[in-house]
Structure formats: structure tokens, C-alpha cells
Amino acid sequence: MADLSRVAIRSPKQRWRLPITEFLLTPLAMVLGFVGLAAVATLVDFWSTAWPEHVRDWLARLFPHENLLRMLGVIATGLVTVTTLTLSALLVAISHTSTTVAPVVFDQFLRRKANQAYFGYVAGCATYTYLVMAVARPTWAGVGPLLAIVLAAGALVLLIFMAYLMIDQMRPTTVVRSIQDRAGQARARQYPLLARCRPVPEVRDDKPDTVTTESSGYVVDIVAARLEALMARVGDGVEVAFQVRIGDLLAYGDGVVRIRGGSPEQRRIAARGVLDCVIIDRTRDAGIDPDYAIDQLGNIAWAATSSRQNPDVAQAAVGALRDLSGRWAATPLPDPEEYGGRLPVVYDDAVQRKIVATLVDIVVVSTSSRQHHTCATALASLAEILPQLQEHDREVAVRSLVRALPAALTHVASVELSRALAKLRASLDAIGHEDLADQVRAMGPLLVDKGGLVDEQDLIDQFDDTDLTGPRPFRFR
């Protein structure tokens, strides 16, 4: 097996790409806009010496020049103070949510356009004020200082809205909804890649070439347009199979792709160019990587479940995962011809398996805090998801579920858990896993015995005659 390596050295442009795209672009653009506004205001003031005398006298009586210049110093100091207090309040708020959603909150705070615009406005307003202070003259009409007062008043009004937005962004439900929206955007952004790639290899080759990397970081994107240009140069008969997915963490020597078929020259061309199609960076972006959004939702649910906090936070995250799975299962991939046709590239779309694995993890971790509500919600979500999956994803999900079911026996025999197990039993019956459905049914008496209940009625059978959400056809026992 040939081992073809490529050294990827991060250029200054690559190092600055993340902070610029994540936060700096909008604030810097607004600051530059305020610099331009200061230049225009200075020119207007410079030309004000030629204005009619009565106009200058009217402005001087209405807005005394000494007061305007004195206000500039107050405004500049106040804007800096407001910015400092806003950042301090943000850090304090994050510290109060540090056990569950703090990393996600901070990540979202940086990426929200409203937050970027606010900080850009305040920083630009302060820059404008300092520039006007530096060039102001007693003989000018004071248009620049007057405009600074108006802009500062606007900053104070924005502070009210920003205070509410900051509080709202700390709410777990808002965090979950924001992640859910970004996951949908990321999934839609992946459609060109998913539609044009093969789900499984089609070229058989016992000795494929492996392309490895000397870079380290996350695979943040795989660019379908670059793949198309590369495969056009390579020619027919070659298949590129990715061993990694968007969101995977790479280290030195990790394999990125396997190249099958074709001539040695075609393989060399593919090996030299394929890493240019893979963007590696040190930070993931939930707006590009749906797996990262799933990880964030899973981490929120995991933290809220393992630390014995309010189960509503975990259940909101579980509900978002179930919603994403249902939406993506109901939305087929676009026709490859919409994006230029199928490419001889293999990429594994495992997003549904990722959701199932996350829900299974939540079932397991619920044993540490005995949150039967969260365990029941996760099991009910799995019951809803299983019938929607493709056959391969479904079999992987069932194998994962088998290993997690014993965790449910550590909880109390609650109504919520019994109803969830009834749903799960119905779902397993509907997809043909009747043996596993029998195991789920047998958990009812085990929960009764473990809880020391006097009533030996099956906690699962008592819900069989109710209107259960999810698959209807199942066998009564």
C-alpha cells in the first residue's frame, strides 16, 4: 500500500480566517464606516467657515461650541465604560451557566450578527468621537461633535435591546433553538456534497493508495466544487473514498482518503490535489457541520442529566435531536444532476447514526442522576426515529440500543418511563425486531420487582391500548 503524505502549513491568511469569519468582520467593517463618517463630518465642519453668518450664529446659540467639545470627552469615556461593562456582564452570565451551556453560549454569542453589529457600533462610535476630538476647532460649526452626541444617544438605546438579547441568549431553550436552526442550515449546505457523492465504494481494489495528512485540526468542510475540478483532471476509472467526515478530528499521519482504480499517474494527480478539497481548522462551526450541532445538543443534555439539574434542559435538547432526525429523514437528498451530476467520490452520510448514538448516550448517562424523565424522553425519541431510518442506519441503531436498554432498569417505575418503553416496543415490532421487542416487554415486570411495587400489572402492557405516538402496527402479547 502506498502512503502519500502532504504537509499542510497554516499560512497567516488561514490563521486569521476563523476570527474574521467568526466575529471580527462585521465590527471592523462598521468601525471603518465610522472612520469614513468622521472624515465626512470633519470636511463639513471645515467648510462651515464659508456658511452664512446667521446660520453659524443660530447653531452657536442652539448648541454652544464649548458644551459640544466638553461632551466629546464624556461620550468617549462613557462608550468605553459601556463596552467594558457589557463584556463583564457577559462573562458573569456565562459563569452562572458554566455547568451546562456556557461553551455553546459563548460560541453562539460570537457568531450572532446582532451582537457583532452592537459591538461594531459602540466601537465605531467611540472611534468616531476620538477622531472628531482630535481635529475639532473653535471656529467650526460643530457638526462633527453634534453628530457624536446623536450617535452616543443611539448607543444608549441599543444598550437596552442588547441587555435583553444577552439575557435571552442565556436561556437554555434559546440556545437549543439556535443550535437547531444552525444544524438545519448546515445540513442544507452539505446537500451538494451529499447528493454528488456515492454512499458506498463501487471500484474494487485490493491495494488502494492512502493519502495521509501532517495537519492537525477538525475537518470543517469538504468542497464539492474543488472535488469536481480535481476529478475532471484525474479522468475516468479512479474513485476517491473519504475515510473522514466533516467534523472529525485529524492528527499527524491520519488517513484522509483512499484512492482506488486508475493508473499510477491518475492516482498521483488525485493524491496531490485531494487535500486541497478538505478544509482543516482548529475550531468547528455548527453552521457548516451538522455533526457539531448534534454534539452541542448532546453535550447540553449530557451535562444537564449527569449533574442532576433541571431535566427540562435535557428534554429540550432531546426534543431538538428528534426534530432534526424527523426533518432530515423526511427530506430526500436532491438529484445529483441539480449540481452537475454524480462524482466518483465516496462519502458516508452518518448524521442519523450520530443522532441515535447521542440519544443512546443520554439514556446511559441518565443512570448517574436517576432522571427517569430524561431517560423516558430519549427512549421515546428513539422509538419515533427507528422506523424513519434507512436499513443500514437502523441496524446500527438497534445494536446500539441493545447495549443501552439495561440502563433503563436503574430508574423508578414511572408512568413516563413505562409509556416510553411501550412506544419502543411498538416501534421494534413495526420494524421487524420482535425478539428485542420481547426483551423490552420483559422489562416491565423487572421494573415492578426492582421498585418493590405491590401491583404486579405489567407497566408496559397497561399502555398497549392507548393512542401512542409513532408506529401503530404492533402485536399484542
For residues 282, 351, 433, 468, the Cα torsion angle rounded to the nearest 10 degrees is: 110
**Quick one: pLDDT at residue 103?**
65
> For the residues 9-23, what does the mean pLDDT come to?
59
**Quick one: pLDDT at residue 4?**
47
User: pLDDT category, 477, cuts 50, 70, 90?
Assistant: very low
Please give the share of the chain, as a percent, with pLDDT higher than 70.
86
| Highest mean pLDDT (candidates 110-119, 188-197, 199-208) | 188-197
C-alpha cell, 390: 434507512
Using alpha carbons only, what angle is made at residue 99 by residues 296 and 24, rounded to the nearest 5 degrees? 55
Q: 3 forms bridges with which residues in the sheet?
A: 210
Q: Is the pLDDT of residue 467 over 80?
A: no
User: pLDDT category, 471, cuts 50, 70, 90?
Assistant: very low
pLDDT digits (tens, 9 = 90+) for 227-239: 999 999 999 899 9
pLDDT digits (tens, 9 = 90+) for 83-108: 777 777 766 766 666 555 656 766 77
For the sheet containing 249-250, what is the strand order? 249-250, 217-222, 278-281
Cβ atoms 109, 319 nearer than 8 A: no
Backbone CA torsion sign across 39, 41, 44, 45: negative
Q: Is the pLDDT of residue 128 over 60?
A: yes
Q: Is the pLDDT of residue 269 over 70?
A: yes
User: pLDDT category, 464, cuts 50, 70, 90?
Assistant: low
Q: Is the pLDDT of residue 173 over 70?
A: yes
Residue 345 is inside which H or E element, if any? strand 345-346
pLDDT digits (tens, 9 = 90+) for 24-35: 888 899 999 999
**Alpha-carbon distance 344 to 58, whole Å?**
76
User: pLDDT category, 6, cuts 50, 70, 90?
Assistant: very low
Burial letters 49-67, b for 16+ CB under 10 A, else e: eeeeeeebeebeeebebee
Q: Which residues contact 388 (CB under 8 A, 6 or more apart)?
A: 325, 326, 329, 330
pLDDT digits (tens, 9 = 90+) for 37-73: 999 999 998 888 888 887 878 888 888 878 888 888 8
Q: Is the pLDDT of residue 250 over 90?
A: yes
> For the residues 442-468, what does the mean pLDDT come to?
60
**Quick one: pLDDT at residue 460?**
57
Q: Is the pLDDT of residue 17 over 70?
A: no
**Alpha-carbon distance 135 to 163, whole Å?**
34
C-alpha cell, 178: 439556535
User: pLDDT category, 308, cuts 50, 70, 90?
Assistant: low
pLDDT digits (tens, 9 = 90+) for 331-367: 988 999 999 999 999 999 999 999 999 999 999 998 8
pTM: 0.78
pLDDT digits (tens, 9 = 90+) for 314-337: 889 999 999 999 999 999 889 999
**Quick one: pLDDT at residue 51?**
85
User: pLDDT category, 184, cuts 50, 70, 90?
Assistant: very high
- For all residues of the chain together, what is the average pLDDT? 84
pLDDT digits (tens, 9 = 90+) for 195-204: 999 999 998 8
Q: Is the pLDDT of residue 126 over 60?
A: yes
pLDDT digits (tens, 9 = 90+) for 399-423: 999 988 888 888 887 888 888 988 9
**Quick one: pLDDT at residue 3?**
47
**Alpha-carbon distance 250 to 253, whole Å?**
8
> For the residues 165-178, what does the mean pLDDT come to?
82
**If DSSP states are collapsed to H, E and C, what string results for 137-186?**
CCCCCCHHHHHHHHHHHHHHHHHHHHHHHHHHHCCHHHHHHHHHHHHHHH
**Quick one: pLDDT at residue 58?**
85
> HSE on the CB side for 275, CA within 13 Å?
22
